[in-house]
């Protein structure tokens, strides 16, 4: 059952919403100037990131990439390094590609038309609408999970919000409520309301729209929105070795295609049979570098899409001992490099490898500092 808004309530609802937003909006960095570039970057970053982390990443990003040109002219490896920790690295690559096109076709400006924005890599309907509505103040609505949650309760939508007819109805009503010329405030107000008040545990007594909320009147606000059942989580096990030779650690570069493309990691593999130790030894041997396990370094768990990864790490050594040059010669066809063990932070790494690098090499740094103090 869906309840649309009577026409004589539309202005009352939007007035109440905008008045609430004027008093309660958070002082976020991309709300200072509302430049199209800043709106674009913030929206891409926040799609799968909590606000607090998103602000920190945004400020760090802007310190290095203040405009489209700086993104377009940067090497992909640096883009990935600054994106590291946000996940969904395909978005960072699309962002990089889109910036290059903006520089080439638009002189470094973010386009202000739906057609031009939609033609760029990685800019889907939501991001396009956010840029046009929030940055350029065109009469466009942007529907994210916060907005879906607000409307699912206001209209008491009892079917999954990401599928029609619910999705179409939410877009229709969100657009109908949009006051002409106020897309910037309206879109942000809806998102802010969903984030601060109409969250997973709704704070109905604080809501400026509670008088019009059908779900609240029926006492079913905690049952909205209706979501589809989550996909089953798939367990994955991997094993990796940390090989340090002459004070430098061996890192391999992943192929450009697939998950974590072009990022650097400790050599290893997914474990499909046998033990993690055997998998590490077998993988390095197949590359021409026989190794032995020196010590286990523990596990790192990491979730991505619908997978749950358990990565095992080991300290390894070449057996028999080999120099860096000898190992590099054997890895001639494998993209690799030896990096000073305390400089791994300069390269983009998948999250589970970054966690182990910080855990292991910070420990080495502390041990070295203690030796020097003796």
pLDDT (tens digit, 0 to 9) for every residue of the chain, 374 residues total?
576 888 999 999 999 999 999 999 999 999 999 999 999 999 999 988 899 999 999 999 999 999 999 999 999 999 999 999 898 899 999 999 999 999 999 999 999 999 999 999 999 999 999 999 999 999 999 999 999 999 999 999 999 999 999 999 999 999 999 999 999 999 999 999 999 999 999 999 999 999 999 999 999 999 999 988 778 899 999 999 999 999 999 999 999 888 898 999 999 999 999 999 999 999 999 999 999 999 999 999 998 878 999 999 999 999 999 999 999 999 999 999 999 988 888 899 999 999 999 888 866 554 554 443 43
Q: What span, in angstroms and rounded, lies between the C-alpha atoms of 299 and 356?
A: 8
For residues 134 and 15, membership in a common domain is answered with yes
Q: CA 226 → CA 160, 176, 213, 219, distances in Å?
A: 5, 23, 16, 15
Q: What is the DSSP string of 268-284?
A: EEE--SS-HHHHHHHHH
For residues 193 and 256, membership in a common domain is answered with no
- Please indicate, yes or no, if residue 39 is contained in any of the structural domains: yes
φ and ψ of 363, to 5 deg = -65, -40
- Catalytic one of 43, 148, 173, 221: 43
Helix (H, G, I), strand (E, B) or coil at 314: strand
φ and ψ of 373, to 5 deg = -85, -10
- Please indicate, yes or no, if residue 229 is contained in any of the structural domains: no
- Please indicate, yes or no, if residue 159 is contained in any of the structural domains: no
- Please indicate, yes or no, if residue 206 is contained in any of the structural domains: no
For residues 61 and 187, membership in a common domain is answered with yes
Residue where a domain stops, chosen among 152, 178, 200: 200
For residues 195 and 243, membership in a common domain is answered with no
For residue 123 the two structure tokens come to 């800019």
Among 297, 338, 290, which residue's Cα sits nearest to residue 314?
Answer: 297
For residues 259 and 184, membership in a common domain is answered with no
For residues 240 and 196, membership in a common domain is answered with no
Domain residue limits at 306: 234-373
- Please indicate, yes or no, if residue 152 is contained in any of the structural domains: no
Q: What span, in angstroms and rounded, lies between the C-alpha atoms of 290 and 288?
A: 6
What lies within 8 Å, CB to CB, of 210 at 6+ separation is: 204, 216
3-state DSSP: the chain helix, strand, coil percent, rounded to 5?
A: 50, 15, 35
For residues 184 and 251, membership in a common domain is answered with no
CATH code: domain of residue 174:
1.10.340.30
For residues 71 and 195, membership in a common domain is answered with yes
Residue where a domain stops, chosen among 178, 200, 222: 200
- Please indicate, yes or no, if residue 246 is contained in any of the structural domains: yes
For residues 103 and 56, membership in a common domain is answered with yes
Active-site residue, 38 included: no
- Please indicate, yes or no, if residue 158 is contained in any of the structural domains: no
- Please indicate, yes or no, if residue 96 is contained in any of the structural domains: yes
For residues 243 and 194, membership in a common domain is answered with no
Domain count for the chain, please give it.
2
Q: What span, in angstroms and rounded, lies between the C-alpha atoms of 278 and 239?
A: 9
Around 321, how many Cα atoms within 13 Å sit in the side-chain half-sphere?
Answer: 4
CATH code: domain of residue 363:
3.90.79.10
For residue 96 the two structure tokens come to 């990089």
For residues 187 and 247, membership in a common domain is answered with no
For residues 57 and 189, membership in a common domain is answered with yes
Q: Are 65 and 74 in contact (CB under 8 A)?
A: yes
């Amino acid at each position: 059952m869906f309840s649309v808004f009577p026409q004589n309530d539309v202005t009352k609802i939007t007035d109440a919403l905008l008045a609430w937003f004027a008093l309660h909006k958070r002082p976020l960095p991309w709300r200072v100037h509302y430049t199209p570039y800043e709106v674009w970057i913030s929206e891409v970053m926040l799609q799968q990131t909590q606000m607090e982390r998103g602000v920190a990443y945004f400020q760090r990003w802007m310190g290095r990439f203040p405009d489209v040109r700086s993104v377009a002219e940067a090497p992909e490896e640096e883009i990935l390094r600054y994106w590291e920790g946000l996940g969904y690295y395909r978005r960072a690559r699309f962002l990089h590609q889109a910036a290059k096109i903006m520089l080439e076709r638009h002189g470094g400006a973010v386009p202000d038309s739906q057609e031009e924005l939609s033609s760029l890599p990685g800019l889907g309907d939501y991001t396009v609408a956010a840029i046009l509505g929030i940055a350029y103040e065109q009469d466009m609505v942007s529907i994210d999970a916060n907005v879906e949650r607000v409307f699912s309760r206001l209209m008491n939508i009892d079917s999954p919000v990401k599928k029609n007819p619910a999705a179409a109805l939410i877009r229709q009503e969100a657009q109908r409520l949009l006051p002409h010329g106020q897309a910037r405030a309206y879109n942000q107000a809806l998102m802010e309301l969903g984030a601060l008040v109409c969250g997973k545990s709704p704070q109905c007594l604080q809501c400026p729209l509670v008088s019009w909320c059908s779900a609240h009147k029926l006492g079913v606000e905690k049952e909205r929105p209706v979501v589809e059942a989550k996909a089953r989580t798939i367990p994955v096990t991997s094993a990796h070795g940390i090989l340090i030779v002459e004070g430098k650690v061996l890192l391999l570069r992943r192929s450009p295609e697939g998950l974590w493309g072009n990022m650097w990691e400790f050599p290893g593999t997914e474990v499909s049979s046998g033990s993690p130790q055997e998998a590490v030894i077998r993988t390095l041997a197949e590359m021409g570098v026989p190794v032995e396990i020196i010590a286990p370094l523990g596990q790192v768990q990491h979730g991505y899409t619908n997978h749950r990864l358990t990565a095992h790490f080991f300290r390894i050594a070449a057996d028999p001992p080999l120099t860096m040059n000898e190992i590099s010669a054997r890895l001639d066809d494998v993209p690799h490099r030896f990096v000073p063990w305390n400089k791994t932070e300069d390269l983009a790494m998948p999250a589970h490898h970054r966690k182990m690098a910080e855990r292991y090499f910070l420990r080495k740094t502390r041990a070295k500092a203690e030796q020097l103090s003796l």
